[in-house]
Amino acid sequence: MSLNSILNIATTGMQTAQTQLRVVSDNVSNVNTPGYVRKIGEQASLTTQGIGTGVEVTRIRLATDRFLQAASLNAGSEASRQGVRYELYDRIQALFGDPGGSSSFFAQIDSVFSAFASVGEDSVSAPRRQEALYRVQALFDESTRISSQIQAAREDADGRIQSAVEKANGLLQQIEALNVEIARATVVNGDATGAESAQAALISQLSELMDVRVTGRSVGGVSIRTGAGVLLAGDGYATLEYNRAGTVNAETSFNEIWVTEPRGQKKPLLDSITSGEIKGLVELRDVEAPQAAERLAELMAHVADELNRAHNANTSVPAPQVLTGRNVGQSLESALTGFTGTTNITVVNDAGVIQSRAEIVFSGGTMTINGTAATPATFLSVLNAELPGATASFSNGVLKIEAGANRGVAIADDAASPSDKAGRGFSHYFGLNDLVTTDRPSNYDLGLTAASPHGFTAGETVTFRFTGESGAKLRDLAVAIPAGGTVADLLTALNDPATGVGRFGTFAFDGNGVLAFTGYGSTPAKLSVLEDRTTQVPSGVSMTEMFGIGAGVRASRADGFSLRTDIQSSPMRLAVAQLNLSAAPGASALATGDGRGAQLLADAGQRSATFLAAGGSAGGSLSISRYASELSGDIGGKATVAKNRAASATALYSEASARQTAYEGVNLDEELVLMTTYQQAFNASARLIQAAREMYDTLLGMI
């Protein structure tokens, strides 16, 4: 072996040892740096024609394990998803208060019915009446507050989605910039570990926003795809697009989140991710929060309806001069069709003596008023003729009965055969003596039949949106009102496969007379209303409002209820007496101090009612108290499940991160051993150079 070969071996040995010592030094100095991945210098022998000529560091790499990295990224993504879901759902649960506390929302419901029981014990007590009315208004004010705060949570989630999208765009740009830097260093066999460490930290942040899959590139750097394979970085970087909705209410339709791949293909992001903060925020915004809002609205709609049922069966003393109904969303002819049983409309004087009486008998699709035959078209004229001293009118969907001066109007159903349509008596159906008012339709069991006129103008449109299981938009469909004027014609147009929603499901009236959509498949598409340009004549309500189409319009009911203003300002107008149809001629049919009607109001919470499917609940025949109890348990149960899932996901992430850190982190003992080894290797190479020099000097001396 020549002296030059010996010197070359020694020199490369010293250079390699120096490089390895720098690597070890970097590792030791970053022993407490969070997220730091230790470096490894890979070295190999140099040979020339099969003869060893030294050693070199072929590359400096990070001590990463792709399996541990993938496990940590996946666990971190799921932890972020469950974390935001729990954070926001816990906020929703807090709105309802402690279910076992006396000041919770559900306790307020019980207090309303207890207050009416107190009124029944002393019906002439103005303070007791005022207390009952105060509790009713407080309950609906609280439901309005909770409903608005649920929407505020959704708005917050929507804003955070936009922030997450913007953050993801920034991370992808930085990751791709580092890809270029790493590739450049790889070409010249440079040290790219600093860029790789920075890139790994960025990828970890990205994985908290969405689930990602990371693979190495042969030219250096990484390729990143979503869990479903959409390319995010590696050959350029993808761009995410999202425009937040602004002010959010129950009927808000949110924009799609788009991802444009480096190759230019634009796809819905939600179809390609299964976890991460964005997924958790979308689930809370589009699933958990709307379900809570929809169930709250269903509960409050029945609280209002049952209070109104009882109040319409009663009357105040003296009887009110005017009874003004609510907008029934139909023509009078349509609203009157389908009634059975008997009701009585009376005009009484200030002493409660009946002055005139109209007995309305519905039977087999016909009706008589005091024995005089009438039809839905002639109802008003016959009623006005048979009820002297009062005038009935119908305008914009509202029935109104007004008595003359010093007279009042009182209504009572026949005890043996009460009037009924869709489970409501005549006065209740038209809302003639409602205690609770609302600014929009709240009852969707209208009792319509296929032959009923729908009242909408041909050519008007309603646009439906269908979304898939992931939350991504499938299709927007605009359906036009048909030329035919019956409900059957409307259903045919809605269910048409070519121009309607027939490709996704079908509309039909359920057993309660409620128009419901049933999607096709084991995981049917979700229907919502994007835009409604219909107006029903004469009521002025839209088709969405009239039939309660979509979860959004149903959830919006929760913030529309309030106590009737005239009763709120004058508690003695609260109807707690009952009309005595058997009173002798000239005798009062109303008694001051009659509190029998108050007991009906007190019992309203225990009366079985038909709740519609809402927010994941199947509904069914339940009392208000039972439904409130189940809702309380459901809210608390979901919050607990969300908490447990978040805790489990966080624990899994901690374990995955700990294992990754144990493998990739710096071990001081190991690094000190390596430092000693490379120091000795450096010294050995130095001594080899010294020996070669001495040999060279000896050879020169021999000449």
% of the chain surpassing 90 pLDDT: 67
pLDDT exceeds cutoff 70 at 258: yes
Contact status, residue 536 vs residue 542, Cβ threshold 8 Å: yes
- Which range, 7-11, 66-70, 211-215, 675-679, has the best average confidence (pLDDT)? 211-215
- Residue 442 vs residue 47, higher pLDDT: 442
Q: Rounded mean pLDDT of 659-673? A: 82
Q: Rounded mean pLDDT of 659-672? A: 82
pLDDT 10s digits, 379-407: 999 999 999 999 999 999 999 999 999 99
Token reading at 93: 């649960």
What is the distance between the alpha carbons of residues 592 and 576, in angstroms, rounded to a whole number? 10
Instruction: Give residue 464's pLDDT band: very low, low, confident or very high (50, 70, 90).
Output: very high
What is the distance between the alpha carbons of residues 604 and 309, in angstroms, rounded to a whole number? 8
What is the distance between the alpha carbons of residues 221 and 237, in angstroms, rounded to a whole number? 13
- Residue 538 vs residue 323, higher pLDDT: 323
Angle between helices 66-96 and 105-121 (to 10 degrees): 20
Residue 109's pLDDT is 94
How many other CB atoms are found less than 10 A from the CB of residue 82?
Answer: 24
pLDDT exceeds cutoff 80 at 303: yes
Instruction: Give residue 1's pLDDT band: very low, low, confident or very high (50, 70, 90).
Output: low
What is the distance between the alpha carbons of residues 697 and 699, in angstroms, rounded to a whole number? 5
Which residues have CB under 8 Å from 656's CB, separation 6+? Answer: 68, 71, 72, 74, 75, 76
Contact status, residue 198 vs residue 178, Cβ threshold 8 Å: yes
Residue 168's pLDDT is 96
Vertex 246: Cα angle to 240 and 247 (nearest 5) = 150
Vertex 613: Cα angle to 609 and 618 (nearest 5) = 90
pLDDT 10s digits, 408-444: 999 999 999 999 999 999 999 999 999 999 988 899 9
Q: Rounded mean pLDDT of 539-561? A: 92
Cis peptide, bond prior to residue 388, ω within 30 of zero: no
Q: What share of the chain is helix, strand, coil (3-state, %, to 5)?
A: 45, 20, 30
Cis peptide, bond prior to residue 99, ω within 30 of zero: no
Contact status, residue 245 vs residue 285, Cβ threshold 8 Å: no
Q: Rounded mean pLDDT of 587-592? A: 92
Specify the 3-state DSSP secondary structure of 530: strand
Instruction: Give residue 245's pLDDT band: very low, low, confident or very high (50, 70, 90).
Output: confident
Q: Residues for the chain: how many in total?
A: 703
Contact status, residue 295 vs residue 159, Cβ threshold 8 Å: no
How many other CB atoms are found less than 10 A from the CB of residue 250?
Answer: 24
Instruction: Give residue 37's pLDDT band: very low, low, confident or very high (50, 70, 90).
Output: confident
Residue 20's pLDDT is 80
Residue 218's pLDDT is 83
Residue 51's pLDDT is 79
pLDDT exceeds cutoff 90 at 695: no
pLDDT 10s digits, 467-523: 998 888 899 999 999 999 999 999 999 999 999 999 999 999 877 788 999 999 888
Instruction: Give residue 321's pLDDT band: very low, low, confident or very high (50, 70, 90).
Output: very high
Q: Which of 34-48, 113-127, 345-359 has the weakest average pLDDT?
A: 34-48
Instruction: Give residue 177's pLDDT band: very low, low, confident or very high (50, 70, 90).
Output: very high
What is the distance between the alpha carbons of residues 639 and 645, in angstroms, rounded to a whole number? 10
Token reading at 247: 């002010």
What is the distance between the alpha carbons of residues 235 and 268, in angstroms, rounded to a whole number? 20
What is the distance between the alpha carbons of residues 568 and 560, in angstroms, rounded to a whole number? 16
Contact status, residue 572 vs residue 126, Cβ threshold 8 Å: yes
Specify the 3-state DSSP secondary structure of 249: coil
Instruction: Give residue 98's pLDDT band: very low, low, confident or very high (50, 70, 90).
Output: confident
Token reading at 624: 């208000």
pLDDT exceeds cutoff 80 at 558: yes
Contact status, residue 165 vs residue 240, Cβ threshold 8 Å: yes
Helix (H) or strand (E) holding 410: strand 407-413
pTM for the structure as a whole: 0.89
List, as own/partner pairs, every contact residues 162-165 make where C-beta atoms lie below 8 angstroms and the sequence separation is at least 24, other chains included: 162/242, 162/243, 162/244, 164/209, 164/277, 164/278, 164/281, 165/240, 165/241, 165/242, 165/257, 165/278
What is the distance between the alpha carbons of residues 674 and 693, in angstroms, rounded to a whole number? 29
Residue 61's pLDDT is 78
Q: Rounded mean pLDDT of 539-543? A: 91
| DSSP code, position 406 | T
Sign of CA dihedral 277, 280, 284, 287: positive
Instruction: Report the chain's mean pLDDT, rounded to a whole number.
Output: 91
% of the chain surpassing 70 pLDDT: 100
Instruction: Give residue 233's pLDDT band: very low, low, confident or very high (50, 70, 90).
Output: very high
H-type alpha helices, 243-288: 277-283
CA dihedral 61, 64, 65, 68 (to 10 degrees): -170
